[in-house]
Structure 1
Amino acid sequence: MGCDGGTIPKRHELVKGPKKIEKVDKDAELVAQWNYCTLSQEILRRPIVACELGRLYNKDAVIEFLLDKSAEKALGKAASHIKSIKNVTELRLSDNPAWEGDKGNTKGDKHDDLQRARFICPVVGLEMNGRHRFCFLRCCGCVFSERALKEIKAEVCHTCGAAFQEDDVIVLNGTKEDVEVLKTRMEERRLRAKLEKKTKKPKAAESVSKSDVVEAPGPSKVTAEKPEETGLDFREKKTNSAPRSAAINESSSGKARKPPCGAMKRSIAESEESEAYKSLFTTHSSAKRSKEESAHWVTHTSYCF
């Protein structure tokens, strides 16, 4: 039991006042934003990507999020604006030579400097720890400090030389005002892309319909003759192939072609060809054999004598 035996309670012990607002440690907040993935809350490992709002993710976590089609997604609000892998940009980061990581802290008794960052600005040399504003270009993915962008004004990337516009500059882990500006830019960009797709579709349909209308009633296209086929050999082949094609068409139609008027059937025996050529046909005298020389009834024209 309390309050007996001469104890005097104070007012704050008896009366409960308003709760104090818990303040977030700024150092811990900066470490969480710049060293951990926004989606999976794991340490950032290459390949590292950034969305159009300037948040940092592991590429593997983004791919798993897009493949997961379940209704309840963990931390889905942080990446609800990411609809495809095209909505994120892979970053080109410059390593900090002074950063050792966990190499010297094997026993756990070493002080970890939270201000030391893994990456730096390749132009000015500032560390990417949240104390300085950093940005990346959406066209190439190069990352550098905002101070370098202001001091060295150019329309070309400082690291790779790619041309960019003001719309391509995205601030990493910016303030609420920066996020609102980036959100409006993102929505305008996506609306513009949808309108371009809609305008391209009717144009493609019109070009297809015009080509059909032009090609349907007109004559068949004549293919250009190759230089090899313009010689005498090609003309001879053409003349030889013409009667063959006509004969094939007649045989397919089932109508026998009548010989022209005045044409006489000539036998090969009466022709002026050589004897070697005539011996190939059955009408030649060498092909006429006696019954003894003819083939056995079991084998058909075996000519085994």
Structure 2
Amino acid sequence: MGCDGGTIPRRDELVRVKQKPEQKDKDAEREFRWLHCALTQQRLQEPIAMCAMGRLYSKQSIIERLLEKEKMPETSAHVRSMKDIKTLKLTPNPAYTDEDKTEGLLDTRHAPYICKLIGLEMAGKFRFVALWTCGCVMSERALKQIKGNTANTCPLCQLPYSVEDVIVLNGNDEDLELMKVKLEMRTAKRKSSKKDKKELKTEITSTAGKEASTEEPSSSSKADTAPKPSTSNNNGTKLKAVANPKRLGATNAMQDPELKRLKTDFSVAKDPKATDVYKSLFTSHKTNKEQERAHWVTYNPFYN
């Protein structure tokens, strides 16, 4: 029956020990995150997009979920519209073939995408980042090396970016906390930009309105607002009419001092252009001064 001296039992055969939990294969988990959609758990299909937390998605799956208005999982609850994702600009790996799509050892497989700057494969062994402004993807090592020599412009497309626009792809827990802070920074910046644009538009509109109100009225408006001569009303009362401009000009000319002086000093007898017959009609003529009877107009009998 056993235990009769022929065999020696071991301790693990006599005592039941607590089994250790099954350890996850870190390499397999890393491979799955970089090759599969975070929403559907299916293999990534181009175009590939990322969310603000740096998770990778097949863009088609995001569009379908938003159109169907299905509830997003907890890890993707922040994705509410297409504005919350960014399409990535990836560089294909020339060493990637159809054989790499089959299941096998990680050491013998190639990643489908690489860093365009230094050639590192995007398989999870090296940290990769993407820029929210343009969607370009590169290794974190390459970005740090180039950033030390140039300003904050994308080394691939030369578009400017800020610190909050750098997204770590498939980051750890610390990276996720940092991505949340950057998301809040971008949201606050976007709201501030919208507010500034709205205030600027309002200011331009108000300025244009003031300029329009201060402009001189057009000729047609002047004609409409010009005073018109008034006529008598139904009761027969006469209203005072505005004087004729030509008549006003003639009156003003008659009030000129020089014209008055010429008028007082003027004499028909001294006018060289007047004829003697014409001059004889006036009392200033010599024949009238020597007359013996009164003049028919002035009744002035004689001149001394």
TM-score by length of 1: 0.59
Q: Distance in 2 between matches of 1:23 and 1:69?
A: 37
Q: How many Å separate the matches in 2 of 1:204 and 1:14? A: 84
1:82-103 CA distance string (max 9 Å, x none): 1110111100000100110248
Which residue of 1 is the match for residue 145 of structure 2?
Answer: 151
- Residues 86-97 of structure 1 mapped to structure 2, 5 A cutoff: 86-97=83-94
Query: Is 1:123 aligned to 2:120, yes or no?
Result: no
167, 173, 178: which one aligns with 2:175: 178
Report if aligned partners of 1:121, 1:127 keep a CA contact under 8 Å in 2: yes
Residue of 123, 128, 142 corresponding to 1:134? 128
Equivalent-residue separation in structure 2 for 1:151 and 1:202 (angstroms):
40
Residue of structure 1 in register with 2:29 after alignment: 29
Equivalent residue for 1:48?
48
Greater C-alpha radius of gyration: 2
Indicate yes or no: 2:62 matched with 1:68: no
1:168 positional shift: 1.1
Once residues 63 and 192 of structure 1 are traced to their aligned partners in structure 2, the CA distance between those partners, rounded to angstroms, is: 26
The alignment partner of 2:138 has SS state of: strand
- The verdict on how the C-alpha distance between 1:208 and 1:99 changes in structure 2, with shifts beyond 3 A counting, is same
Cα shift at 1:10: 6.0
Deviation at 1:111, TM superposition (A): 6.6
Name the count of aligned residue pairs: 214
Report the AA paired with residue 185 of structure 2: E
Q: Which amino acid aligns with 2:84?
A: N
Uncovered stretches (5+) of structure 1, i.e. residues with no partner:
225-305
Does 2:71 correspond to 1:79?
Answer: no
Q: CA deviation at 1:189?
A: 2.4
Distance in 2 (CA, whole Å) between partners of 1:223 and 1:10 is 116
Paired with 2:217 and 2:129, the residues of 1 have a C-alpha distance of 58
Percent identity of equivalent pairs: 41
1:152 match: secondary structure: helix
Once residues 136 and 19 of structure 1 are traced to their aligned partners in structure 2, the CA distance between those partners, rounded to angstroms, is: 42
**Aligned counterparts, 1:111-260, within 5 A:** 115-153=109-147, 154=150, 155-194=152-191, 197=194, 222=218
| Counterpart residue identity of residue 161, structure 1 | Q
CA RMSD after TM alignment? 3.6
Structure 2: runs of 5 or more not aligned: 221-304
Q: Secondary structure at the match of 2:98?
A: coil
Contact 2:164 2:186 in 1 (8 A): no
User: 2:49 is aligned with what amino acid?
Assistant: V
Instruction: Report what 1:59 is aligned to.
Output: 59
Cα 1:197–1:161 shift into 2, 3 Å: closer
Residue type of the partner of 1:141? Answer: G
Distance 1:199 1:158, change over 3 A: closer
Could you say if the C-alpha distance between residues 202 and 164 of structure 1 is closer, same or farther in structure 2, counting changes exceeding 3 Å?
closer
1:125-160 CA deviation, whole Å, 9 max, x = no partner? 000010000001111111010110112223221111
Q: Kindly indicate whether the alpha-carbon contact (under 8 Å) linking 1:27 and 1:114 is maintained by their aligned counterparts in 2.
A: no
CA distance, structure 1, for counterparts of residue 162 and residue 41 of structure 2: 32
Helix, strand or coil at the partner of 2:167: strand
- Residue 196 of structure 1: how far off its partner (Å): 5.0
Mapping of 1:264-275 within 5 angstroms? none
Q: CA deviation at 1:37?
A: 0.4
Seen in structure 2, the aligned counterparts of structure 1 residues 67 and 16 have a Cα distance that, compared at 3 Å, is farther
Per the alignment, in what secondary structure is the counterpart of residue 21 of structure 1? Answer: coil
Q: 1:204 to 1:129 in 2, by over 3 A?
A: same
Counterpart AA for 2:73: G
Q: Contact 1:31 / 1:114 at 8 angstroms: preserved in 2?
A: no
CA deviations on 1:240-296 (whole Å, 9 max, x unpaired) are xxxxxxxxxxxxxxxxxxxxxxxxxxxxxxxxxxxxxxxxxxxxxxxxxxxxxxxxx
> 2:37, 2:58 within 8 Å by CA — same for their partners in 1?
yes
Q: Which residue of 2 aligns with 1:253?
A: none
Q: 1:211 to 1:101 in 2, by over 3 A?
A: same
